[in-house]
Amino acid sequence: MYFENIPVIPYEGPQSRNPLAFKFYNPDQVIMGKTMREHLPFAMAWWHNLCAGGTDMFGRDTADKSFGAEKGTMEHAKAKVDAGFEFMQKLGIEYFCFHDVDIVPEADDIKETNRRLDEISDYILEKMKATGIKCLWGTANMFSNPRFMNGAGSTNSAEVYCFAAAQIKKALDITVKLGGKGYVFWGGREGYETLLNTDVKFEQENIARLMKMAVKYGRSIGFTGDFYIEPKPKEPMKHQYDFDAATAIGFLRQHGLDKDFKMNIEANHATLAGHTFQHDLRISAINGMLGSIDANQGDYLLGWDTDEFPFDVYETTMCMYEVLKAGGLTGGFNFDAKNRRPSYTPEDMFHAYILGMDAFALGLIKAAKIIEDGRIDAFIAERYASYKTGIGAKIVSGEATLEELAAYADELGAAKLPGSGRQEYLESVVNSVLFT
């Protein structure tokens, strides 16, 4: 036991003052025909929760994530597995996500790293069988090791490219072994700092080549899940190729990868791209590519990826509105989030997940109410009503010509204004649903 003082976290309802209880996440509660557990397949992010101790640019770890073992050893790797499964069980979290180097210490020689990955994945598999906890997605960390300073798929070095391929191959092997539903590409260093040394076209084609090889290999070993691109515009690089959902979707279509890939949308990455979280979810959904979500939030006052636990219920509500409208996710909600540096105790790890799970549960409850209330949907339908009949219907059916529309405008002489957008009214509808 690593968290002796922490009980299994119960649902106690909104009036509860117990810090170690859910106020809104009630797994068996049914919303729009499905339980909260089904709507919200939550996942623990191995890296933040079990590895990161709060180191930042100016200071070292504040939290002790040794779990009683010597760091950098296989004992430590196993202690993290034990602690992680105890943590997930106590919170009722059914999935986890991992990078290769989160689950084992990386050795100098990749053959030794891979041997360690075989060993730890046997151990993880045993725990999965004993608890019923599952793998949401796996990925390869192709951004921390110095060899990836110029990217992985986009590196200038063919040798480094081979190491990226080797890591993807092994991470896919382990993901398949653990029954993972998805495999993520987050291209943190797939981008550039200056065009003075960069061939953008060549780099992007090389990324596509690597992804095609990954799909081919993954399918050959029985991976039937989705590959995901996780867009992010910047940090660590100045320009990252997977800027946002629209850019990533265009790239996938250009290279014929759109049948095998979907988006993994992270809230904080969408806001770094100058979008709302909801925007990138909508763009993914309308393109049939909303796969999974990295559930966190950024800080509008800071220009970087703060990976905070979700707290903003407006955001989680509009997120769940998108997810409900899209008919749910094939992936899940991975808490790619970390405690603030001064929240360094084991209890804080639980407080963080309780906050995040409750914020999404409340978002789900409220999003369902917005849909049931119907005023927003009715307004949107009415707003486009001029396309239902007459000249509008002709435009939509594709029968109209530019000359015909121009003649129609000539006849009108002057257009009526297109009708009020009623933004303030609609925002007050949202508030009335949120706060009753």
Q: Does 322 bind ligand XLS (CB under 6 A)?
A: no
**Cα–Cα distance between 234 and 191 in angstroms, integer?**
8
Q: Is 184 helix (H, G, I), strand (E, B) or coil?
A: strand
What does the per-residue mask of binding to Ca ion show for 262-301, with x meaning CB under 5 A?
A: ----x---------------------------x-------
| Binding-site partner at residue 139 among Ca ion, ligand XLS, none, CB < 5 to 8 Å by type | ligand XLS
Q: Is 48 noted as a catalytic residue in this protein? A: no
- The contacts of residue 376 (CB under 8 Å, 6+ apart) are 370, 426, 429, 430
Candidate list 305, 308, 315, 358; residue touching Ca ion; CB under 5 A? 305
Q: Does 190 bind Ca ion (CB under 5 A)?
A: no
In DSSP terms, 43 is beta-bridged to 95, 334
| Encoded tokens for 109 | 């020689």
Q: Does 230 bind ligand XLS (CB under 6 A)?
A: yes
**Cα–Cα distance between 93 and 302 in angstroms, integer?**
30
What does the per-residue mask of binding to ligand XLS show for 256-285, with x meaning CB under 6 A?
A: ----------x-------------------
Distances (CA, A) of 53 to 5, 64, 345, 355: 20, 6, 10, 19
Smaller CB distance to ligand XLS: residue 190 or 294? 294
Locus of tokens 């760091």: 71
State the nearest-atom distance from the C-beta of 248 to Ca ion, in Å: 13
> How many residues sit close enough to Ca ion to count as binding (CB under 5 A)?
5
Give me the catalytic one of 102, 242, 244, 280.
Answer: 102
In DSSP terms, 228 is beta-bridged to 184, 262
What does the per-residue mask of binding to ligand XLS show for 139-158, with x meaning CB under 6 A?
A: x-------------------
Interface segment toward ligand XLS; rule CB under 6 A; list 19-27, 168-176, 183-191, 246-254: 183-191
Interface segment toward ligand XLS; rule CB under 6 A; list 22-30, 182-190, 340-348, 373-381: 182-190
Q: Is 99 noted as a catalytic residue in this protein? A: yes
| Encoded tokens for 70 | 């010597």
**Cα–Cα distance between 13 and 366 in angstroms, integer?**
15
- The contacts of residue 432 (CB under 8 Å, 6+ apart) are none
Nearest Cα to Cα of residue 210 among 264, 163, 243, 242? 163
**Cα–Cα distance between 121 and 130 in angstroms, integer?**
14
State the nearest-atom distance from the C-beta of 68 to ligand XLS, in Å: 26
Of 335-354, which residues contact ligand XLS (CB under 6 A)?
336
| Binding-site partner at residue 279 among Ca ion, ligand XLS, none, CB < 5 to 8 Å by type | none
| Binding-site partner at residue 226 among ligand XLS, Ca ion, none, CB < 5 to 8 Å by type | none
Smaller CB distance to Ca ion: residue 24 or 225? 225
DSSP 8-state class, residue 385: G
What is the b/e burial string over 244-253, where b = at least 16 CB atoms within 10 angstroms of the residue's CB? bbbbbbebbe
**Structural contact between residues 228 and 245, judged by C-beta atoms closer than 8 angstroms:** no
DSSP 8-state class, residue 51: I
Q: Does 173 bind ligand XLS (CB under 6 A)?
A: no
Binding site for ligand XLS (CB under 6 A): 99, 139, 184, 186, 188, 230, 232, 266, 294, 305, 336
Binding site for Ca ion (CB under 5 A): 266, 294, 305, 307, 336
Q: What residues are labeled active site?
A: 99, 102
